[in-house]
Structure 1
Amino acid sequence: MKTISFFDTKPYDKVYFDAYKAKYHIDIIYHETKLNKGSAILAKNSQGVCAFVNDTLDRETLETLCESGIEIVAMRCAGYNNVDLKFAKGKIHIVRVPAYSPHAVAEATMGMLLTLNRKFHRAYNRTREYNFSINGLNGFDLYGKTIGVVGTGQIGRIFIKICKGFGMNILAYDPYPAQDADFQYVDFNELCEKSDIISLHCPLTKESHYIINQKSIEKMKQGVYIINTSRGALIDSDDLLENIKSGKIGGAALDVYEEESDFFFEDLSNTIVHDDVLSRLISMPNVLVTSHQAFFTNEAIENIAKTTLGNFQEFFDVGTLTNEVCYK
């Protein structure tokens, strides 16, 4: 039985990880705190670490883990842009969950688009106060509109299939286009120019950082809608805010935010949020913000638990790592 330190624990994590940990011969020490350079010492006397999307695995954090004898960090998510892979290489194994439920994120993306467009969230709040007026709640037909999908991995391609079901025209951009695609690829500038709606499904890399910025927004149609269920730093939040204020961007649905690590997944209802950009975005009637929950289905959490525990079992019992992203 190996012991792992589990950071940024939420109640739903315990439900699924506790249900399967014995099967994989893993014991878990749960920590509610996020993993960072200050909390990394808590992993001492463990054989592995489990981290999440908003933990900070920078050089200092990884150094502390290595000094504590930790040889493997399992990310219970697909992304690993919060890991200093350059430092980790040759020192500590980093593994991930490459696919937990691409359908969950794709379906949530369409749900956010429908909610933003048809203003269901605002209608819900009205009717709870017995206000049954529909003034100001009109949207537009998705049928016949052009949607630009940035990133055509599993999630992006499933989302494209959903959009086709609505009768939408598809434009896609990906630096590594699929060879068997049944949709049209264009360059990013053309996608910006021709799309009524733009949905982001790409990983965060040096090339994609702030892919939505003032320059790219200027190329877009007046009143364009932008949906982001991928990574917050794909969008320059200041530029987004200014163009929503000006009316250039007609609406935005954000399940992620570039500075989300201090806010998302936490209950801050009794505190003042000291992020003026986030506060102003949330206050706007044509902006929908959710707390990084697009992945959050029962099936996804179960798959995350099984794959993460399987990653540990592979390392401890077999010595191979199917889902490794950084080799020691």
Structure 2
Amino acid sequence: MIRVHVNDPLEKEAIEMLKAKPQLNVTCEHLEKEKLLAMIPEIEVLIVRSATKVTADVIERGTKLRLICRAGVGLDNIDVETAQKRGIKVLNTPGASAISVAELTFGLMLAAARHIARGTLDLKNGIWTKKDLEGVELFGKTLGIIGIGTIGREVAKRAIVFGMNVVAYDPYVQRFEGVRIVNLDELYAVSDFITLHVPLTKETKHLINAESIAKMKDGVIIVNTSRGGVIDEAALYDALVKRKVYAAALDVFEVEPPNDELRKKLLQLPYIVATPHIGASTIEAQTRVAKELLQRLFEELKIS
């Protein structure tokens, strides 16, 4: 039997499908690093989401490890380079949660532009702040999408329907219908809204920083539902305080949970809308993620 360990929560139906395969010996428990290191020599297939960090030492101790499966898009919590050196295949589900993330992106964009969260909080506290919450429309504005992959394209489709002009930067994409592909400097210069849909790599870490913000329009709104590390949050804080950036909407942070002093200060600003990394947290997305992951897993293991 093939030993499979699920170290992060997976949809109940998916667990049942795994356990129904007689070829698999399945265990499901979140193990912190020391316990995972102790168990990993016996594991052939490791299934994780974003909570588990599959670091080089974990991979090196996985002497029987054949597959690392990430139920989600990003692979920044997995040392892919070490896995490849060991001949361990890494699977993920890049498209399964695209619609959910795109919809959250649009919700955050609207919330930032129209002060929805602040208005709600004020009303709950018995305060009528109608005159203080004048916002901006999306219609006729330019949306700059950094990363026009699966999620970025879903955002672009929705932005076009809203009557926005859409430009995008992506070194791997030459054309997408209804979108003008531009370089980063032009995107910064013309965009009223900027949304990020890139993985966290050496090239994208702190892509949005003091220098890039200085190239943006005054009053730009920045949305990030990709990875926290692509924004230098200290630079974002300064730009919000100085009102260079009108508002920011963040689903992800470089430190999660964002409990350190910098991010506490950032979250206290009235120009911030934030959610706790819930881009893929919909019933539909989690169902698609689980089904797609299991399909790929069973194909790799040649299990029908």
User: TM-score, structure 1 length as denominator?
Assistant: 0.85
Show the counterpart of 2:29. Answer: 31
How far the C-alpha of 1:23 sits from its partner, in A, is 5.1
Show the counterpart of 1:56. Answer: 53
1:42 corresponds to 2:39: yes
Match of 1:101, as an amino acid?
S
1:302 corresponds to 2:297: no
Contact 2:8 2:29 in 1 (8 A): yes
Secondary structure in 1 matching 2:248: strand
How far the C-alpha of 1:38 sits from its partner, in A, is 5.7
Deviations 1:80-119 (Å, cap 9, x if unpaired)? Answer: 1222222211422211112113111111100011112211
Q: How many residues align?
A: 302
Secondary structure in 2 matching 1:21: helix
Show the counterpart of 2:241. Answer: 245
Superposition map of 1:145-160 within 5 A: 145-160=141-156
How far the C-alpha of 1:310 sits from its partner, in A, is 2.4
Residue identity over aligned pairs, in percent, reads 30
Match of residue 278, structure 2, among 282, 293, 309: 293
Match of 1:85, as an amino acid?
V
CA distance in 1, matches of 2:204, 2:183: 14
Match of 1:78, as an amino acid?
V
1:212 corresponds to 2:218: no
How far the C-alpha of 1:307 sits from its partner, in A, is 2.0
Match of residue 17, structure 1, among 1, 14, 17: 14
Contact 2:145 2:166 in 1 (8 A): yes
Show the counterpart of 1:78. Answer: 73
Secondary structure in 1 matching 2:302: helix
CA distance in 2, matches of 1:256, 1:193: 24
Show the counterpart of 2:300. Answer: 315
| CA RMSD between the two structures | 2.2
Contact 2:93 2:292 in 1 (8 A): yes
Show the counterpart of 2:84. Answer: 89
CA distance in 2, matches of 1:227, 1:96: 24
Show the counterpart of 2:98. Answer: 102
Question: What runs of 5+ residues in structure 2 fail to find an aligned partner?
Answer: none
CA distance in 1, matches of 2:252, 2:120: 23
- Shifted more, 289-298 versus 88-97: the winner is 88-97
Question: What runs of 5+ residues in structure 1 fail to find an aligned partner?
Answer: 265-272, 320-328
How far the C-alpha of 1:199 sits from its partner, in A, is 0.4
Match of 1:296, as an amino acid?
S
Residues 158 and 59 of structure 1, relative CA distance in 2, 3 Å threshold: same
How far the C-alpha of 1:209 sits from its partner, in A, is 1.8
Show the counterpart of 1:139. Answer: 135
User: TM-score, structure 2 length as denominator?
Assistant: 0.91
How far the C-alpha of 1:37 sits from its partner, in A, is 5.9
Match of residue 175, structure 1, among 171, 178, 185: 171
How far the C-alpha of 1:127 sits from its partner, in A, is 2.5
